[in-house]
Amino acid sequence: MIGKLDPDTLGRVLKHTGASNPDLLTGAAYGEDAAAIDLGDGDTLVVSSDPISLAADRAGTLGVYVACNDVAASGADPEFLTNVVFLPDDDEATLATLTDQLDAAADDLGVTIVGGHTEYVSALDRPLLSLTAFGRTDRYVPTGGAEPGDQLVVTKGAAIEGTGILATDFAADARAAGIEQATLDRAADFLDEISVRPESRLLCSAATAMHDPTEGGLLTGCVELAAASGVDLVVARESIPIRPETMELCAAMGVDPLRIFGSGALLATLPPDAVERALDSLAEADIEATVIGEVQESSGDSAAGGSLVVDGNRITDAPTDQLYPLWEDDA
């Protein structure tokens, strides 16, 4: 079994969080990817950790962007990172590639790697990374802030990260399925678009909630946002932007573009009177954005407190990412 813990199991884990602290504004919770800590004088420290356990080709790059995305999606500018790297063996080339990727991605975001840990673990068959990002903000935006009546906006499109992974980690399989190299090259470049910091900066002043979808794709991201906010998200599938390269690769590899890694997109809920201005500001920054649904009162049909409704079909459990079986078959 690979993938995230189910909400019930995670709930049991999250009951064990040590001592309480009055400065903790938002702590461990299903759907909330970052902690918020009151620093006083109106400032909030946002902290988030994320692993890269399966993607191999651009693991260092993805590790930095994915960890920093949770901080950015909370309205903060990522400033610092700690980095833990486990390597399967004493492979200088792999270590050099990873550290070069980590350095370049952190430099691109203006983030400083301030520490961490590196060691060899013979039980592994591929590198394992875990990064923790830190940033400050004077307007913290939770995942759980969506209000009935808000509009749901997504930037870029579905499966930005998943498309890039298919084009790199599974390039040989994709070519065997008939995908042309030019398509693979364009799709691999999607990994350069994983950061959501540019759009989060533009949206955080008006957004009631923001969330970056990761494992399980856009559908899981929506389920998590709905559960954290205690609302229903009502979405029309045809309104969700999916790039041609994503459609082609997903069809060839037999996966649903809404159910594979979704980093690179940002989900945001906005009051109706803020939507037009937000879309205009994103367009001016050359960031694609689309209204894909609306927030409604929870029907109460989900134990999590909220759910996703796509074309009339209610989804209460987060879908399993459809890239996982491909990695298992490749093992």
* Among candidate residues 110, 137, 164, the one where a domain is terminated: 137
SS3 assignment, position 282 = helix
Question: Are residue 76 and residue 181 in the same domain, yes or no?
Answer: no
* Among candidate residues 137, 169, 190, the one where a domain is terminated: 137
Beta strands in 149-298 (DSSP E): 151-155, 209-211, 231-235, 267-270, 289-297
Question: Are residue 164 and residue 303 in the same domain, yes or no?
Answer: yes
Question: Are residue 213 and residue 243 in the same domain, yes or no?
Answer: yes
pLDDT of residue 89: 85
Do the strands 43-52 and 35-40 form a parallel or antiparallel pair, or are they unpaired?
antiparallel
Q: Which residues of the chain have pLDDT under 70?
A: 1, 301-304, 331
Question: Are residue 21 and residue 94 in the same domain, yes or no?
Answer: yes
Residue 321 resides in a domain? yes
pLDDT of residue 14: 87
pLDDT of residue 304: 63
What's the farthest any 2 CA atoms get from each other in the chain?
A: 58
DSSP letters of 296-326?
EE--S--TTS-EEEETTEEE-SPPPPTTHHH
Segments forming the whole domain that contains residue 324: 143-330
Question: Are residue 117 and residue 162 in the same domain, yes or no?
Answer: no
CATH number of the CATH domain containing 176 = 3.90.650.10
Question: Are residue 166 and residue 311 in the same domain, yes or no?
Answer: yes
Residue 225 resides in a domain? yes
Q: Which amino acid is at 133?
A: A
Question: Are residue 114 and residue 150 in the same domain, yes or no?
Answer: no
Residue 2 resides in a domain? no
pLDDT tens per residue, range 34-78: 999 999 999 999 999 999 887 778 899 999 999 999 999 999 999
Tokens 């602290």 label which residue? 21
Residue 12 burial by Cβ neighbours in a 10 Å radius (0-12, 13-18, 19+): exposed
Question: Are residue 113 and residue 210 in the same domain, yes or no?
Answer: no
Residue 314 resides in a domain? yes
CATH number of the CATH domain containing 52 = 3.30.1330.10
Tell me phi and psi for residue 274, to 5 degrees: -105, -10
pLDDT of residue 55: 72
Q: Do residues 249 and 160 touch, judged by C-beta distance below 8 A?
A: no
Count how many domains the chain has: 2
- Its sign, for the CA torsion 190, 191, 197, 198, is negative
DSSP letters of 45-74?
EEEEEEEE-S--TTHHHHHHHHHHHHHHTT
* Among candidate residues 76, 110, 137, the one where a domain is terminated: 137
